């Protein structure tokens, strides 16, 4: 049992940190693809992808009149006036942590606070090495997860922290995969650039090695899709996220989570018994769009059941 407001802060603390990490992963894919030799339009669509899937495009256009990698990087990564930027996500994660300072361990607080202080320095000075910056974001997120895993009491606080992580991760994995969904919509044979695109996606999700181990095969769209949605073993797949969510919900005290548990179980059942061919027949984009709606709905159920304060 804990205060709903406390649970809410813990949940959003980890959601925002996870979001920052996934934004870094997303930018990483786009930047590595944009550097490949290809048509100007292709590069442009790669570059705008992060804005499209995070729904920041409108806001970007309001502030900038042209789309360049530098401006995009600044807007998505560092712009403190953009509430959805990486630095803003880190700030919000840290604000949420600060509000429940007494409910997390000293190491967790010091870690997330240090992350914020460094993020602020990045925002002030700018990024000179893009790759190093993305690595830094991921590393800070890993560190925080590690500190959390290694120090916090197993109880409701830990549960809500993990709940935030997995809801956000499921959402982000679906969105990341969705960026590439258009590649499947053309009937043309897979081109070399498609191959690069799917590989880059795997690398961005730290799933390249896992892919090789599972499939021992060249990278194909079908198998990547299958792994990222349906694999129970890949920690960033939709199914793995939903399994984690179901387990956590089952552990929470009280009986107000019935609807959240039901929706999570239904979504997990769907993922457990789906096949990649069905998904591709339905159309990957449409399938993912539905998943996103379901994940969103689940988030709302969780909010209503546990997090709603006043």
Partner 1 sequence: MHRIEPPAASIYDEMLASDLAVRPHYDEFLRWLNQQSAETLSQRRQEAELLFHRVGITFAVYGDDNDAERLIPFDTIPRILPADEWQRLEAGLRQRVAALNAFLHDIYHDGHILKAGLIPAEQVLANAQYQTAMRGVNLPHGIYSHISGVDVIRHNDGDCYVLEDNLRVPSGVSYMLENRKMMMRLFPELFARHAVAPVEHYPSLLLDTLRHATFADNPTVVVLTPGHYNSAYFEHAFLAQQMGVELVEGRDLFVRNDRVFMRTTAGHKQVDVIYRRVDDNFLDPLAFRSDSSLGVPGLLAAYRAGNVILANAIGTGVADDKSIYPYVPDMVRFYLDEEPLLKNVPTWQCRKPADLSHVLANLDDLVVKEVHGAGGYGMLIGPKASRAEIAEFRCRIIADPANYIAQPTLALSTCPTFVEEGIAPRHIDLRPFVLAGKEVKIVPGGLARVALQRGSLVVNSSQGGGTKDAWVLEA
Binding site for partner 1 (CB under 8 A): 1-7, 91, 98-99, 101-103, 109-110, 113, 156, 160, 252-254, 256, 306-310
Nearer to partner 1 by Cβ, of 99 and 184: the residue is 99
Nearer to partner 1 by Cβ, of 186 and 251: the residue is 251
**Residue 310 CB, nearest approach to partner 1 (Å):** 4
Nearer to partner 1 by Cβ, of 33 and 86: the residue is 86
**Residue 100 CB, nearest approach to partner 1 (Å):** 8
Find tokens 């499939």 and name the residue.
Answer: 215
Q: How many CA atoms lie within 13 A of 132 on its CB side?
A: 5
- SS3 labels along 56-103: CHHHHHHHCCCCCHHHHHHHHHHCCCCCCCHHHHHHHHHHHHHHCHHH
Q: Are 309 and 11 in contact (CB under 8 A)?
A: no
Nearer to partner 1 by Cβ, of 98 and 222: the residue is 98
Nearer to partner 1 by Cβ, of 11 and 134: the residue is 11
Nearer to partner 1 by Cβ, of 109 and 211: the residue is 109
To the nearest 10°, report the CA torsion of 41, 47, 51, 52: 40
Which among 209, 270, 269 has a CA at the least distance from the CA of 236? 209
Which among 44, 79, 45 has a CA at the least distance from the CA of 60? 79
Using CA atoms, how far apart are residues 121 and 235, in angstroms rounded to an integer? Answer: 31
**Residue 35 CB, nearest approach to partner 1 (Å):** 34
DSSP class of 255:
S
Nearer to partner 1 by Cβ, of 106 and 132: the residue is 106
Tokens of 106: 């000293």
**Residue 218 CB, nearest approach to partner 1 (Å):** 47
Using CA atoms, how far apart are residues 96 and 135, in angstroms rounded to an integer? Answer: 23
Using CA atoms, how far apart are residues 212 and 272, in angstroms rounded to an integer? Answer: 22
Q: Are 237 and 230 in contact (CB under 8 A)?
A: yes
**Residue 248 CB, nearest approach to partner 1 (Å):** 12
**Residue 34 CB, nearest approach to partner 1 (Å):** 32
**Residue 112 CB, nearest approach to partner 1 (Å):** 11
Using CA atoms, how far apart are residues 6 and 11, in angstroms rounded to an integer? Answer: 9
Nearer to partner 1 by Cβ, of 64 and 98: the residue is 98
**Residue 105 CB, nearest approach to partner 1 (Å):** 11
């Amino acid at each position: 049992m804990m205060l709903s407001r406390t649970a809410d802060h813990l949940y959003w603390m980890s959601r925002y940190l996870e979001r920052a990490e996934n934004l870094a992963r997303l930018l990483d894919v786009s930047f590595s693809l944009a550097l490949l030799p290809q048509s100007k339009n292709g590069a442009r669509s790669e570059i705008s992808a992060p804005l499209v899937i995070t729904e920041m495009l409108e806001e970007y256009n309001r502030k900038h009149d042209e789309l360049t990698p530098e401006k995009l990087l600044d807007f998505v990564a560092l712009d403190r006036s953009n509430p959805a930027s990486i630095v803003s996500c880190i700030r919000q994660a840290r604000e949420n942590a600060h509000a429940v300072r007494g409910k997390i361990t000293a190491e967790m607080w010091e870690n997330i606070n240090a992350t914020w202080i460094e993020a602020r320095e990045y925002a002030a000075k700018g990024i000179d090495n893009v790759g190093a910056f993305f690595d830094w974001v991921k590393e800070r997120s890993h560190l925080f997860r590690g500190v959390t895993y290694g120090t916090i009491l197993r109880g409701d606080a830990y549960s809500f922290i993990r709940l935030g992580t997995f809801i956000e991760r499921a959402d982000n994995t679906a969105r990341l995969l969705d960026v590439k969904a258009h590649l499947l919509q053309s009937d043309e044979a897979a081109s070399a650039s498609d191959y690069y695109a799917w590989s880059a996606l795997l690398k961005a999700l730290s799933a390249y090695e896992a892919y090789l181990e599972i499939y021992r095969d060249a990278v194909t769209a079908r198998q990547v899709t299958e792994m990222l949605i349906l694999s129970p073993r890949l920690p960033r797949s939709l199914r793995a996220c939903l399994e984690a969510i179901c387990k956590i919900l089952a552990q929470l005290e009280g009986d107000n989570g019935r609807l959240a548990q039901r929706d999570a179980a239904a979504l997990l059942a769907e993922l457990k018994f789906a096949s990649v061919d069905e998904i591709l027949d339905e159309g990957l984009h449409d399938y993912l769009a539905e998943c996103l709606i379901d994940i969103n709905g689940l988030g709302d159920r969780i909010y209503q059941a546990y997090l709603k304060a006043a």
